[in-house]
Amino acid sequence: MYLFIEFWKARPEWLALNRETRSAYMAELGKGIEQLAKTGVEIISWSFNDPLTANRAAFDYFAVWRFPDTGSMRGFEQIIQQSGWYNYFDQVNLSGEIADPLTCISQITNL
């Protein structure tokens, strides 16, 4: 199992769109998300970045996804790219195989 974490904020291009155009775009995106769920992809959460978070990342929103394998995760990345999402949102991503703290600590220690 793999996690994919997105952090994003709106670009001026998104803010320049009227509400109807934004709603139509998000409705289309929602259809794609529904299809992903049928393939075993799970949305852990979509959320707002709390302004009071210590050492806060400079992004307004984030999403955490769980993928059954790297193939489905790479497919998701392609879907996002093809949707034009990055034209509207400044985004950075994190992804990796689900691991426990001891595995990560060992890797960090052995740098």
Domain containing residue 13: CATH number: 3.30.70.1060
Instruction: Encode pLDDT of 1-44 as tens digits.
Output: 999 999 999 999 999 999 999 999 999 988 888 888 888 999 99
pTM: 0.87
User: What is the domain range of residue 67?
Assistant: 2-109
Q: Residue 108 and residue 111: Cα distance in Å, rounded?
A: 5
Q: Which long-range contacts (CB under 8 A, 24 or more apart) does 74-77 make?
A: 76/4, 76/36, 76/41, 77/4
Number of folded domains in the chain?
Answer: 1
